[in-house]
Amino acid sequence: MITEYLKKLYETIRSVAGITVVLAIVVAILSSIFRGPYIIVNTVVTGGMLALMSIGLALVFGVMNVAQFAHGEYFMIGSLTAYYTFIPIERYLGANPNAALSFLAPLVSILAAFCMGALMGVLSEKLIFYNLRKRSRTNWVMNSFLLTVGISVLLVNGHQLIFGTELKGIVRYWTGRPFCIMDVFVSRDRCYAFILSVLVIGLFWLFMKATRTGRAIRAVSQDETGAQMVGIDLSGIQVLTMALSCGLAGIAGASLLFMFPSYPSVGLDPLYMSWFVIILAGMGNVLGAVVGAFMVALLKVLTMEYIGSGWDFVVPTALIMLILIFKPNGIFGSDVRGVLEQ
């Protein structure tokens, strides 16, 4: 029994994905020993939020076959919503201090960002993708991709026209002394952001595995016709998928408001990073996206640490090009499609 498990574990580790993951962990530990534990801390905090972005991207690709290039804009909408929710509450708190409310205020802002992101997702699906799908499904991947670029331009310029180009940021969500973990001081915001990402990923996982609706989403990603045959309302699932995906991007944008103030094109960096992740992990592979997000985050942190901060886009991009040439399905890639399978 135990030997069987060990054997299975050994097989997994020997696969490309396994080797890469083990290598990443070893590198993370070594560099943390030599340079300081902040490397792991930074990786984990950025990785968590990147995972939320990438899950959404993988989901939309796996279920709807849409190569989403407006994903960063839902991140931007999340950060904007959080800003305009948090600032008034903070101002109110300045006048009437209240401990419970000041702990809850960031959570309320993030929740608002999730709702706003989800709402925008629903609107994009209902107004745009639904109508394209009804008109024609020929050349779907290309046409829907071009539409997402259009959505992106629209939202970026919309932000600029309505809210202006200045940085709309906050210094911190949670006041209080930083936590001390492994001799590194980690700000409360970073800590809570990480905990939040783990919680959300966990909830999402449970939703996909254990609920009837989650199973329906997976079914649609594996066989649309089959899903209709068992009575699944495709358009309902498509709306829900967009809502979830954009809502998760909204959470990421809101939770990182203290690092990335909101401005029109704030979503560009997270968009590119999450695309790196899903190319690395294999498009439409949600589980791979979570692991891949931490690996890309590590790569970025290490590049900044060892090579210099101007290079943090160059190295991942070069790596992505290599992957596209040698392993176009991604390192976790499989022939069969499905959003929650490896």
Please give the residue ranges that form the binding site for other proteins (CB under 8 A): 212, 215-216, 218-219, 222-223, 225-234, 336-338, 341
**Residue 3 and residue 12: Cα distance in Å, rounded?**
14
**Residue 197 and residue 51: Cα distance in Å, rounded?**
8
| Nearby residues of 182 by Cβ (< 8 Å), 6 or more positions away | 37, 40, 41
Minimum distance of other proteins from residue 61's CB (angstroms): 15
118 versus 237: smaller Cβ distance to other proteins = 237
Minimum distance of other proteins from residue 122's CB (angstroms): 19
- Asked if residues 24 and 247 have their Cβ atoms less than 8 Å apart, the reply is no
Minimum distance of other proteins from residue 133's CB (angstroms): 13
35 versus 209: smaller Cβ distance to other proteins = 209
Minimum distance of other proteins from residue 339's CB (angstroms): 9
134 versus 177: smaller Cβ distance to other proteins = 134
- Asked if residues 200 and 244 have their Cβ atoms less than 8 Å apart, the reply is no
240 versus 252: smaller Cβ distance to other proteins = 240
62 versus 72: smaller Cβ distance to other proteins = 62
Burial bucket for residue 121 (CB in 10 Å: 0-12, 13-18, 19+): buried
**Residue 83 and residue 79: Cα distance in Å, rounded?**
6
Minimum distance of other proteins from residue 295's CB (angstroms): 23
**Residue 54 and residue 230: Cα distance in Å, rounded?**
29
Place of tokens 């649609």: 220
Minimum distance of other proteins from residue 337's CB (angstroms): 8
Distance of CA 208 to the CA centre of its chain: 16
Minimum distance of other proteins from residue 225's CB (angstroms): 5
Burial bucket for residue 7 (CB in 10 Å: 0-12, 13-18, 19+): exposed
165 versus 235: smaller Cβ distance to other proteins = 235
Minimum distance of other proteins from residue 229's CB (angstroms): 5
Number of C-beta neighbours around residue 160 at 10 A: 13
Whole-Å CA distances, 110 to 15, 216, 264: 38, 27, 19
Residues forming beta bridges with residue 276, ordered by sequence position:
none
165 versus 228: smaller Cβ distance to other proteins = 228
4 versus 166: smaller Cβ distance to other proteins = 4
**Residue 59 and residue 57: Cα distance in Å, rounded?**
5
Whole-Å CA distances, 190 to 140, 152, 182: 40, 28, 15
